[in-house]
Structures are given as structure tokens and as C-alpha cells.
């Protein structure tokens, strides 16, 4: 049997078989993915978002958190603006419950069955008839997101149903939650939060100063509640709350496929969304007798009612100004850099590379034992270096197949029959 194969060919043939097996079976495995993560750490800072399968059709792809967000203007929301109403279209300024009922009924007339009210609906002494009309209109939306400020008081209050509808158990959050702001009540009385079709998110956290980095998460007892813009993003894509992946200090993913928002440990956006104009801004008074084409058909849903009164509190004005850019930043997935693809060479090119490498192994296998071991170390260093250089240019070489051949050659060289 030993005479069937020339002694000088035994080791290279076994190394070639190992290379072929590695080339065929190792791409896309946990070993290949682990190597890809090592390469990724040499090019960017974690966290990493890895996709692909390491194959020719689906090569590895890497995305990392962007240092600056540039929201897509097409993702900005359609805004209906509640201004000062200088022409006195409405009964009062700010509008009364019956005025709001008229405005929101016109939302429905114009085809906006998904809506969001960034304006906080609260009055000191509301008209009961107006409240009843408003409640009736709110119940007709297919989906509705509402807003209210939150704060922390000495006495906790029960969480309103609309906030509970839009909350998750704190156990859903992965990682450290101790730095998230803690809230336990709404600092206003009589806030209207709709019916069972409603989710509520916070407009602002009262004890936090306005920031370029909007807050997205807060703790309310054993649950986590969310900011209004985040709920609007979920509403736009019809995504369930339970599908979010939340990692304070890293990121928040709206679904397994994204979009992804970088988070700091305090539950705020880690990169500032900047300034962005709405997709379109329509004064609320135009809805009263506006034509059926008043809302652009191509505008993103939902349509948002925003408080733009000049006499509004500073927190409300800050929130209203930041709202379009925040929603656009979340929905346009600008929290991550574009995917970097690590393409493989063609099948024939990879086979040629491996053949050259096997030839190098065959050449050094005939040297002395000491020279052979040194040569194997040099070959290993060369392969790894070449792989990292190629990866920096977006090319994924068959390095695992080459290393498999080298390991087999090294081990078999210890056996006299192969080293003969």
C-alpha cells in the first residue's frame, strides 16, 4: 500500500484533501463567523450587525453604528400644525375638545385612518359635550398614538391603559437598565389618551432638560415605556412591540430586520438626529374646508397633529421642533452605516489560490524537520496577513481552507510514514 503513493506526495495529497473539505464545508459555519467577527474588530468598533452566510451568493456583510445620522427627508412625517389660529377659525385658542374633534374627524375624511397626536390633549374645565364628541372620533381610528409628558413623584400612580398598551416588561430589555430614567405618573390632570385602539408615548420627561439626543425609553415600575416618536415608527411599519430588541448602551432594533437606532445607557438616541423639515406641514384650519387631495397620497403614514402654539411650554416647543427629524432618523435606518459586503472570489480563482498554496506546502515538506516547521509558521503568518489585507478591501479569501491544509500538513509531518 505504501508503494502506491510516492513518499513526497503523501503529505501534500492529504493537505489538498483537507483544503478541499475546508473550502466546501467551512464557509458560513460558526468558525467562519467567529473569524469574521475578529476581522470586523480590526476595522470598526462594536456593536456589529452581521448578515450573510459567507457563501458566494450571500457573502458576509457588516454594518456598524454611524457617527452622524442623516435622516432621509422622504421619511419625515406629514404634520398638521396647531398654530395660534390668528384668524379665529376655532372656538378657542388653544383649540377646545370640540375643535379637536372637528380636526380629527377631517383626518378621517381625508383618508388618514392611522394618526398620531403629538399635541397633549388636556383641559382645565372641558365641555362634557365636546369631550364626548372627541372620544367618539378617537374611537374611529384604525390606529392611534397619543402623547403626554411623564415625571416622577413621591406617590406613584397607576399606569394609564394607553401607556400600558405601549409598554413591555422590564425583563424584555437586555443589559443594564439601572441608568434608564424612572417615571411613575403624568404631571397633568385630565389628559385624554383615547380608547383601546390607542397607544401612548411620552412627549417629554419633566425632570430631564431638553437635549439634542431624544429620550426613547423610561422605566415605570416593572415596565418600560417608550417615547412618542418611537411608537409612531412602529405604527408606520405595523410592527409589534414584542419584536423590538432593546440593549441600552448599544442599540434598539424595531424588528429583527431593523431599523436600528443607536442608544446610550440612559435610553437616549446615541447620535443626534439634527434638524429636518416635515414631509409637508398643513395648518389645522385648512382641514375644515380643504379638498380631498389636501393630504399628499405619497406621504408616509401616520399623519401627525403637532402643537405649534407660540405660547406653548419650552419642553413642548423643543419636542415639536425635533419631532420630524427624530421620526425620520428612526424610520429611515440611518443609525447604521451602509452594509459593507465581503465578496468572495470566483470558484476557479479560489481553487487556483489553494492549488498554489498546496504547492508551497509540497515544496517545504521535503526540507529538514526544523526548516519545515519554520516554513509552516511563515506560511501561516502569510495566509493570515493576506486575509486581513484582502478583507480591508472587501474581499473574503478561503483562509480557513488554507489553514486546514496547513494544520493537517503540520500534524502529519510528525508521522514518519508521511515525512519519509
Peptide bond preceding 47 in cis form (omega within 30 of 0): yes
For 80, phi and psi rounded to 5 degrees? -105, 120
- 274, part of any domain: yes
Do both 188 and 170 map to the same domain? Answer: yes
Continuous segment of H or E residues that includes residue 243: none
Do both 287 and 352 map to the same domain? Answer: no
pLDDT at 418 over 60: no
- 310, part of any domain: yes
SS3 203: strand
Asked if residue 255 lies in contact with residue 198, where contact means CB atoms within 8 angstroms, the answer is no
Select the more confidently predicted residue: 110 or 335: 110
Question: What secondary structure letter does DSSP report for 241?
Answer: G
Select the more confidently predicted residue: 92 or 57: 57
pLDDT at 93 over 50: yes
- 118, part of any domain: yes
Residue ending a domain, among 296, 331, 366, is 331
Do both 158 and 281 map to the same domain? Answer: yes
Q: Look at residue 337 in the predicted model and tell me its pLDDT.
A: 82
- Up-side HSE of residue 404: CA atoms within 13 Å toward CB? 21
Q: Choose the weakest-confidence range: 88-92, 183-187, 231-235.
A: 88-92
- 22, part of any domain: yes
Strand partners, 260: 253
**d(C-alpha 121, C-alpha 225), whole Å:** 19
* Extended beta strands in 83-206, E state: 114-117, 143-150, 167-169, 182-183, 198-205
* Number of compact structural domains in the chain: 2
pLDDT confidence tier of residue 378, bands split at 50, 70 and 90: very high
Q: CB-based contacts of 234: which residues, under 8 Å, 6+ apart?
A: 240, 241, 244, 254
- 279, part of any domain: yes
Q: Look at residue 419 in the predicted model and tell me its pLDDT.
A: 53
pLDDT confidence tier of residue 5, bands split at 50, 70 and 90: low
Structural domain harbouring 47: 7-65+339-419
**d(C-alpha 18, C-alpha 405), whole Å:** 5
Do both 307 and 395 map to the same domain? Answer: no
pLDDT confidence tier of residue 44, bands split at 50, 70 and 90: confident
Asked if residue 268 lies in contact with residue 179, where contact means CB atoms within 8 angstroms, the answer is no
pLDDT at 2 over 60: no
**pTM passes above 0.85:** no
Q: Look at residue 149 in the predicted model and tell me its pLDDT.
A: 95
Do both 300 and 259 map to the same domain? Answer: yes
pLDDT at 367 over 80: no
Residue ending a domain, among 331, 357, 381, is 331
Residue range 330-341: average pLDDT?
84
Angle at 299 between CA 275 and CA 67, to 5 degrees: 35
Do both 26 and 60 map to the same domain? Answer: yes
What percent of the chain is predicted at pLDDT more than 90? 61
Residue ending a domain, among 314, 331, 348, is 331
Do both 315 and 352 map to the same domain? Answer: no
- 207, part of any domain: yes
Q: Look at residue 1 in the predicted model and tell me its pLDDT.
A: 42
- 1, part of any domain: no
Amino acid at each position: 500500500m505504501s508503494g502506491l503513493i510516492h513518499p513526497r506526495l503523501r503529505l501534500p495529497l492529504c493537505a489538498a484533501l483537507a483544503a478541499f473539505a475546508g473550502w466546501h464545508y467551512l464557509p458560513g459555519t460558526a468558525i467562519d463567523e467567529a473569524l469574521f467577527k475578529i476581522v470586523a474588530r480590526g476595522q470598526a468598533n462594536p456593536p456589529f450587525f452581521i448578515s450573510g452566510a459567507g457563501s458566494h451568493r450571500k457573502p458576509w456583510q457588516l454594518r456598524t453604528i454611524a457617527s452622524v445620522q442623516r435622516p432621509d427627508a422622504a421619511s419625515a412625517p406629514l404634520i398638521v400644525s396647531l398654530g395660534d389660529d390668528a384668524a379665529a377659525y376655532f372656538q378657542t385658542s388653544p383649540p377646545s375638545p370640540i375643535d379637536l374633534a372637528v380636526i380629527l374627524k377631517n383626518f378621517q375624511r381625508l383618508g388618514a385612518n392611522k394618526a398620531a397626536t403629538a399635541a397633549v390633549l388636556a383641559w382645565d374645565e372641558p365641555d362634557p359635550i365636546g369631550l364626548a364628541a372627541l372620544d367618539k372620533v378617537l374611537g374611529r381610528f384604525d390606529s392611534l398614538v397619543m402623547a403626554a409628558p411623564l415625571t416622577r413623584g413621591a406617590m406613584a400612580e397607576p399606569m394609564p391603559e394607553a401607556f400600558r398598551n405601549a409598554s413591555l416588561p422590564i425583563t424584555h430589555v437586555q443589559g443594564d437598565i439601572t441608568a434608564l430614567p424612572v417615571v411613575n405618573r403624568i404631571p397633568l390632570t385630565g389628559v385624554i389618551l383615547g380608547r383601546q385602539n390607542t397607544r401612548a408615548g411620552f412627549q417629554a420627561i419633566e425632570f430631564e432638560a431638553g437635549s439634542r439626543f431624544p429620550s426613547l425609553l423610561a422605566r415605570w415600575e416593572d415596565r418600560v415605556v417608550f417615547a412618542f416618536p418611537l411608537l409612531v415608527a412602529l405604527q408606520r411599519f405595523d410592527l409589534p412591540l414584542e419584536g423590538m430588541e432593546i440593549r441600552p448602551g448599544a442599540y434598539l432594533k424595531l424588528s429583527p430586520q431593523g431599523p436600528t437606532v443607536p442608544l446610550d445607557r440612559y435610553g437616549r438616541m446615541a447620535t443626534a438626529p439634527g434638524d429636518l423639515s416635515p414631509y409637508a406641514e398643513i395648518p389645522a384650519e385648512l382641514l375644515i374646508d380643504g379638498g380631498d387631495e389636501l393630504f399628499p397620497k405619497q406621504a408616509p403614514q401616520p399623519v401627525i397633529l403637532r402643537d405649534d402654539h407660540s405660547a406653548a411650554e419650552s419642553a413642548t416647543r423643543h419636542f415639536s421642533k425635533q419631532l420630524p427629524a427624530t421620526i425620520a432618523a428612526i424610520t429611515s435606518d440611518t443609525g447604521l452605516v451602509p452594509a459593507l459586503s465581503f465578496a468572495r472570489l470566483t470558484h476557479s480563482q479560489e481553487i487556483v489560490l489553494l492549488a498554489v498554496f498546496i504547492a508551497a506546502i509540497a515544496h517545504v515538506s521535503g526540507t529538514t524537520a526544523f526548516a519545515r516547521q519554520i516554513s509552516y509558521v511563515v506560511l501561516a503568518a502569510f495566509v493570515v496577513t493576506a486575509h486581513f489585507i484582502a478583507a480591508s478591501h472587501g474581499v473574503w479569501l478561503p483562509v480557513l481552507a488554507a489553514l486546514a491544509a496547513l494544520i493537517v500538513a503540520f500534524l502529519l509531518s510528525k508521522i514518519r510514514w508521511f515525512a519519509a
